[in-house]
Amino acid sequence: MKKASANGAIQNVIDEMQAATAAAKCHKCGCFHGALSELTDALPSIPAGTREMIQPVIETGMKHKIPEEYDCIGCRVCWPANALNFAAEAFPDVSFGGDACPTEVPAREPGWPPLPGDFTVLDNAGHVAVCALTSKALVGGVVEARPVGVAIVGTLYTENLGIERIITNVLANPNVTNLLICGADSEQRIGHLPGQTLLSLFEHGVDARGRIIDAKGRRPLIKNIAHDAIEVFRKEIRVLDLVGEEDVGAVIEALAGMSAVSRPRRAGSRPHDGPRVIRAQPVERLVLDPKGYFVIFPDRERRSILVEHYIKDGTLAHVFTGERADDVYATVIGHELVSRLDHAAYLGKELARAEQTLRTGEPYIQDRAPEPSRCVSGGCTGSHERES
């Protein structure tokens, strides 16, 4: 990782954020959202002159972000994390909100494991969990070999929610008494370092704020697991450190050795009650938005999205056009043409679909194309859908 000098630090921040803004995959990633939020919050504390340099980069990034779909996908280079690392190094007296995780707690799923993730269950009665860190191919090799005694094998990309999922899922199965950590840890440049962080949790635990002691990751925070459950995890689960080992044969051999050592079944434990899960209910009645309705067309010749706004009597009142769904959406909202949240959600979904069809060339059919006599929030139940 390049060192941030007094003169070059802010340029490094700008370069990394510009790289993230230019990458479509970052626009819906929690890393990008979190970096924008932290830099925005810290902006008033950054010295004048430097502040004016970085503010336009933040504003541009805000225009490109779209609703978050994942916290991190384990990119080999994480530009937002780099930007925060450079900023923290350049301005040690400025708080960049490192305690704020940009993602939400995932909903539980019935059965075991209780939380979803990038893993494969091999044997619920097994006593070994395998964390292959960022080595996806290593997971495939272990799954294919199906070693005796392995309950679950999966990856780990983040040093906060990813570790929380491991704690929750492991403690939910009293048969699991061992954790093998192997595979490639993310590079220092990425900023997450989940392997080093997980080992630090076992060795040092967490402080009063839930921060993993001596962890090198950017946000090594355990915010959704009770402290006593963390201690149960540390004391009852035996860990074998093979971080850096990506050879399937070597990992299988280590697992054979772990299977040969018998350990008593643990008592079951619950790491935390977690948020209340609310099951979505079918929509029984769609309500008309008094502001009117929209018809959306991908304009393939101009590579833009065309949106027509009609008032309730079917009169065309406005026409919007733009290349990006979020730009069109923000403009429509800015003109105060949507008064219902469900209508706003529908509009955002359809604009995103229209933008996607411009990229892929697939036909676009509006989900519920409006019919003046039967219009509802976000469209209608008519059958006269239009295809571009």
Q: What does the alpha-carbon distance between residue 128 and residue 341 come to, in Å, rounded to a whole number?
A: 46
Choose one of 240, 259, 278: the last residue of a domain: 259
Q: What does the alpha-carbon distance between residue 87 and residue 15 come to, in Å, rounded to a whole number?
A: 12
pLDDT at 272 over 60: no
Which of 136-150, 280-294, 312-326 shows the lowest per-residue confidence on average (mean pLDDT)? 280-294
Q: What does the alpha-carbon distance between residue 75 and residue 30 come to, in Å, rounded to a whole number?
A: 12
Task: Determine the average pLDDT of the residues in 341-347.
Answer: 91
CATH code, domain carrying 202 = 3.40.50
Look at residue 380 in the predicted model and tell me its pLDDT. 39
Q: What does the alpha-carbon distance between residue 378 and residue 351 come to, in Å, rounded to a whole number?
A: 12
CB-CB contact of 163 with 198 (8 Å): yes
Give which of 163, 159, 161 is closest to 179, Cα–Cα: 163
Residue 331 inside a domain? The answer is yes
Q: How many CB atoms lie within 10 A of CB 268?
A: 10
Regarding beta strands 128-131 and 178-183, do their DSSP bridges make them parallel or antiparallel, or are they unpaired?
parallel
Tokens encoding 201? 């949790």
- 144 lies in the same domain as 251: yes
Q: What does the alpha-carbon distance between residue 89 and residue 205 come to, in Å, rounded to a whole number?
A: 25
Task: Say what the alpha-carbon torsion angle 356, 359, 364, 366 is, to the nearest 10 degrees.
Answer: 30
- 303 lies in the same domain as 358: yes
Give which of 354, 346, 353 is closest to 375, Cα–Cα: 346
Q: What does the alpha-carbon distance between residue 161 and residue 169 come to, in Å, rounded to a whole number?
A: 12
Look at residue 50 in the predicted model and tell me its pLDDT. 83
Choose one of 41, 69, 90: the last residue of a domain: 90
Q: Using 50, 70 and 90 to split pLDDT, how confident is the model at 388?
A: very low
Tokens encoding 143? 């799954």
Q: Using 50, 70 and 90 to split pLDDT, how confident is the model at 363?
A: confident
pLDDT tens digits, one per residue of 167-211:
999 999 988 999 999 999 976 545 678 999 999 999 999 999 899
Residue 111 inside a domain? The answer is no
pLDDT tens digits, one per residue of 81-130:
878 878 877 777 777 654 434 444 444 445 788 888 889 999 888 899 99
Give the number of domains in the chain: 3
Task: Determine the average pLDDT of the residues in 351-367.
Answer: 89
Q: DSSP string spanning 10-43?
A: HHHHHHHHHHHHH-GGGTTBHHHHHHHHHHHHHG
Residue 313 inside a domain? The answer is yes
Residue 110 inside a domain? The answer is no
Look at residue 277 in the predicted model and tell me its pLDDT. 66
Write the CB contacts of 310 (distance below 8 Å, at least 6 apart in sequence): 292, 293, 294, 295, 316, 317, 370, 372
pLDDT at 374 over 70: no
Tell me which of 150 and 100 has the higher pLDDT: 150
- 177 lies in the same domain as 305: no
- 246 lies in the same domain as 322: no
Residue with tokens 């003046």: 372
Q: Using 50, 70 and 90 to split pLDDT, how confident is the model at 375?
A: very low
Q: What share of the chain in percent tops pLDDT 70?
A: 79
Q: What does the alpha-carbon distance between residue 42 and residue 13 come to, in Å, rounded to a whole number?
A: 13
Task: Determine the average pLDDT of the residues in 273-286.
Answer: 67
Task: Determine the average pLDDT of the residues in 280-304.
Answer: 84
Q: Taking the mean position of all CA atoms in its chain, how far away is CA 361?
A: 28
Choose one of 233, 259, 285: the last residue of a domain: 259
Look at residue 76 in the predicted model and tell me its pLDDT. 60
Residue ranges making up the domain that contains 339:
293-380
pLDDT at 268 over 80: no
Task: Determine the average pLDDT of the residues in 40-57.
Answer: 86
Give which of 98, 102, 94 is closest to 65, Cα–Cα: 102
Residue 374 inside a domain? The answer is yes
- 40 lies in the same domain as 167: no
pLDDT at 331 over 60: yes
- 76 lies in the same domain as 123: no
Regarding beta strands 178-183 and 375-376, do their DSSP bridges make them parallel or antiparallel, or are they unpaired?
unpaired
pTM, 2 dp: 0.54
Look at residue 75 in the predicted model and tell me its pLDDT. 64
Q: What does the alpha-carbon distance between residue 126 and residue 254 come to, in Å, rounded to a whole number?
A: 15
| Mean of per-residue pLDDT scores for the chain | 82
Q: What does the alpha-carbon distance between residue 99 and residue 90 come to, in Å, rounded to a whole number?
A: 19
Look at residue 253 in the predicted model and tell me its pLDDT. 92
- 250 lies in the same domain as 139: yes
Tokens encoding 80? 């937002």
Please calculate the CA angle 257-193-222 and round it to the nearest 5 degrees: 90
pLDDT tens digits, one per residue of 62-85:
999 898 877 666 566 778 887 887
- 251 lies in the same domain as 147: yes
Look at residue 387 in the predicted model and tell me its pLDDT. 37
- 188 lies in the same domain as 250: yes
Q: What are phi and psi of 190, to 5 degrees?
A: -70, -40
Residue 113 inside a domain? The answer is no
Look at residue 307 in the predicted model and tell me its pLDDT. 94
Which of 12-26, 267-281, 301-315 shows the lowest per-residue confidence on average (mean pLDDT)? 267-281
Write the CB contacts of 153 (distance below 8 Å, at least 6 apart in sequence): 119, 120, 122, 129, 130, 131, 132, 139, 142, 143
- 130 lies in the same domain as 214: yes
Residue 53 inside a domain? The answer is yes
Tell me which of 269 and 25 has the higher pLDDT: 25
- 242 lies in the same domain as 312: no
Residue 1 inside a domain? The answer is no
- 251 lies in the same domain as 297: no
Look at residue 125 in the predicted model and tell me its pLDDT. 86
Q: Using 50, 70 and 90 to split pLDDT, how confident is the model at 384?
A: very low
Look at residue 207 in the predicted model and tell me its pLDDT. 93
